[in-house]
Structure 1
Amino acid sequence: MSGHGFTSTFADDLEEYLTFKTSMGCYGASRIWYLKRFDQYCATTGRKVLNQATVEGWVTFQLLSQPISRSWMSYIRDFGPWARITGNADAYVLSEKWKAGFIPSQPYLLTQTEITLFFQAAARLVASSPWKWQAVAFFGLMHSCGLRTGEVRRLTPTDVNLNDGVIEVLASKGDRDRRLPLTGEIADILTECDTHSRRAFAQQRATFFVTSSGKPVSPAAVGVAFNRIWDQARLRRTSAGKRPRPYDFRHHFAYANLERWMTDGTDVNAMLPYLARYMGHASLDSTYYYVHTSPDFMNNFADITRKSELLLPEVGFA
């Protein structure tokens, strides 16, 4: 059995592929999880050749349980070219016809009242896990810096430079790095969180935010914590339509800046490159998405950060 538990004919190749991706700075439990699913499928069905029948057979099988999401297909599509380069000239590369189409999600537009109540509830969270002291810091980073959920989860203790008041977001989407300044308020919150974590785990944690066992928090755990805090704050949920998610703090970060610039008469087009760089976008197309996803966001966000004089919004914990 391999280090990751692979058992099929492709076990050694899958291990070497993951080692290669890690050497290129590409980490992530999601890739490993789906490749394990592929490995289990091959072991169960007796697939021994990396051909079209094997790859598309697994994709078809996987779609039965995940008919909507297709982002995971990129993992098996990337495995094919690697196999060719490393000696398997006949390895099949998943056709582009399986590529997921872009279906933009509709963000839940958080109000300032909801944000305030959420962080008040997060500060009072009763939990036996590290979320008790991590919740305000984790979601505060998303809110104050517009980070992706995965970027916060992957932060290491050395990435969070509390002495200089900056964080290093390394090897993020598109393998891009960026250094972001912290507000004094969020720096204090991170310092308090770090103090609790060091007391509980000493130097044994690989990431800044951890589970009760000291391991990195999973995407699912973030969603569970967010929903628990949202409900504890007695915030409204609709039975249909848009639902609040952790990622909506990132949307709020973008909307809050756009709203303030428009209100202040600042040239938004001139400011978009700065916002794009701060948020880690590869191009302005990604940043324009926040302008077009909700044409009525001006009305919904009329009360957000209007009085702030900062370039980027402070965290509203009051």
Structure 2
Amino acid sequence: MKPPIFISSFADDLIAYIDFKARTGKTGHSRIYYLRHFDTWATRHSITKLDRGAVEGWVADELTHCSTHRSWMSYIRDFGRWMRIHRDPSAHVLGDEWKAGIVHSTPYLMSSTDIEAFFTATRTVPAHSPWAWQATAFFLLMHSAGLRTREVRALTPANVDFNDRHIMIATSKSGRERKLPLTDAVMGILDSCHRRSRSQFPNRQRFFVSSTGAGLSASSIGVMFNRIWDHAGLARPAGGPRPRSYDFRHHFAYANIERWMREGTDVNTMLPYLSAYMGHAGIDSTLYYVHTSPDFMDSYAELAGKTANTVIPEPDAR
């Protein structure tokens, strides 16, 4: 593995730290991904000392656009400990008040124009890896089925039934399998992707793969999403939430709610099915996704009260 490239005044220290972690068996890409964020931030702000202002300043900045999971805090905390032992006894170690947890982030609300431009760009985005032919299929599953990123990453060829037109999700957050029917159009795109991948990687273990035929890393999803977003010429807001692949899941939830409201369908009746389809353990989790819809806010309080005791049906896992 090539050593990661860092450019800040901490470059040599970061490379030595990554090498130390690799020798102890810790070779995950996420650590490098977030420490590069820190490296870029430190360069931009001319940071030369790992003091409290530097560490907490970067963490505070990262929190303005991070995902719901904050496990990345452990990387800067561990780097501080390593620095204190090996380089600088006064190096700051991120305090326990910054303990990682799960915080619901504000989604970026994609418009139909954003989505159309994004999927047009997936067909022409420069990529010399399997992303060249699997980008459309990967992100289409998030958009059309509301899947979590890790559920798409974990999908295997055996999980896709082209005859019965469904996929089986075996890695649900709730721990339950769920069988999801898909449209012919979506299945056709998955079939095209599968044929191309199978010709290149006949023994692949995952439906979506990297250039080595292995499963995709979590960080590679964000990298490719951003590349496609920029290739499409889509704007990035100067402030507020930034677009992420996970926002497709948000869009799936509130787009269904808005469609039912426009059609006059009883949303109270449909919410349990939406919850089951998305793999939620309860209605509250689904309401979190849909309450961000601009047209849904006025009805949210009343709907939440009516559905508080709704029994959620088990998804069909046959």
TM-score (norm 2): 0.64
Contact 2:137-2:193 within 8 A present in 1 as well: yes
Residue number in structure 2 paired with 1:233: 232
Deviation at 1:6, TM superposition (A): 8.1
Q: Quick one: structure 1 residues 150 and 238, their matched pair in 2 at CA, closer, same or farther if it must change by over 3 Å?
A: same
Residue number in structure 1 paired with 2:218: 219
Contact 2:254-2:291 within 8 A present in 1 as well: no
Q: Quick one: structure 1 residues 98 and 109, their matched pair in 2 at CA, closer, same or farther if it must change by over 3 Å?
A: closer
Deviations 1:221-272 (A, max 9, x none): 1111111111111111112212111011111100110001111121211111
Distance in 1, matches of 2:261 and 2:160, equals 32
Contact 2:222-2:244 within 8 A present in 1 as well: yes
Contact 1:259-1:298 within 8 A present in 2 as well: no
Q: Quick one: structure 1 residues 167 and 265, their matched pair in 2 at CA, closer, same or farther if it must change by over 3 Å?
A: same
Residue number in structure 2 paired with 1:263: 262
Contact 2:165-2:183 within 8 A present in 1 as well: yes
Deviations 1:3-23 (A, max 9, x none): x9885xxx9xxxxxxxxxxxx
Asked whether 1:167 is paired with 2:167, we answer yes
Distance in 1, matches of 2:98 and 2:148, equals 26
Q: How does 1:74-89 map to 2 (within 5 A)?
A: none
Q: How does 1:76-225 map to 2 (within 5 A)?
A: 103-203=103-203, 205-225=204-224
Aligned-partner SS, 1:133: helix
Q: Quick one: structure 1 residues 65 and 207, their matched pair in 2 at CA, closer, same or farther if it must change by over 3 Å?
A: farther
Q: Quick one: structure 1 residues 282 and 123, their matched pair in 2 at CA, closer, same or farther if it must change by over 3 Å?
A: same
Aligned-partner SS, 1:223: helix
Deviations 1:28-78 (A, max 9, x none): x97x988xxxxxxxxxxxxxxxxxxxxxxxxxxx9998675545799xxxx
Aligned-partner SS, 1:262: helix
Name which structure has the greater RCO, CA cutoff 8 Å, separation 6+: 1
Deviations 1:135-157 (A, max 9, x none): 00000111110000110000011
Residue number in structure 2 paired with 1:287: 286
Residue number in structure 2 paired with 1:77: none
The residue type equivalent to 1:131 in the other structure is W
Identity %: 56
Deviation at 1:293, TM superposition (A): 3.2
Distance in 2, matches of 1:263 and 1:191, equals 33
Deviation at 1:126, TM superposition (A): 2.5
Asked whether 1:246 is paired with 2:279, we answer no
TM-score (norm 1): 0.64
Q: How does 1:2-17 map to 2 (within 5 A)?
A: 7=24
Aligned-partner SS, 1:271: helix
Distance in 2, matches of 1:165 and 1:197, equals 19
The residue type equivalent to 2:169 in the other structure is V
More deviation, 64-73/279-288: 64-73
Aligned-partner SS, 2:244: coil
Deviation at 1:279, TM superposition (A): 0.1
Aligned-partner SS, 1:187: helix
- Specify every segment of 5 or more residues in structure 2 that has no aligned partner in the other structure, as ranges: 1-20, 32-54, 64-68, 75-95, 299-318
Q: Quick one: structure 1 residues 165 and 264, their matched pair in 2 at CA, closer, same or farther if it must change by over 3 Å?
A: same
Deviation at 1:294, TM superposition (A): 4.5
Distance in 2, matches of 1:280 and 1:126, equals 34
- Specify every segment of 5 or more residues in structure 1 that has no aligned partner in the other structure, as ranges: 12-28, 35-61, 75-95, 300-318
Distance in 2, matches of 1:265 and 1:233, equals 35
The residue type equivalent to 1:237 in the other structure is R
Aligned-partner SS, 1:186: helix
Distance in 1, matches of 2:164 and 2:264, equals 33
What CA RMSD, in Å, does the superposition of the two structures yield over aligned residues?
3.1
The residue type equivalent to 1:282 in the other structure is A
Q: Quick one: structure 1 residues 265 and 227, their matched pair in 2 at CA, closer, same or farther if it must change by over 3 Å?
A: same
Residue number in structure 1 paired with 2:313: none
Q: How does 1:298-317 map to 2 (within 5 A)?
A: none
The residue type equivalent to 2:283 in the other structure is L
Distance in 2, matches of 1:221 and 1:129, equals 12
Size of the aligned set, in residue pairs, is 227
Distance in 2, matches of 1:116 and 1:124, equals 14
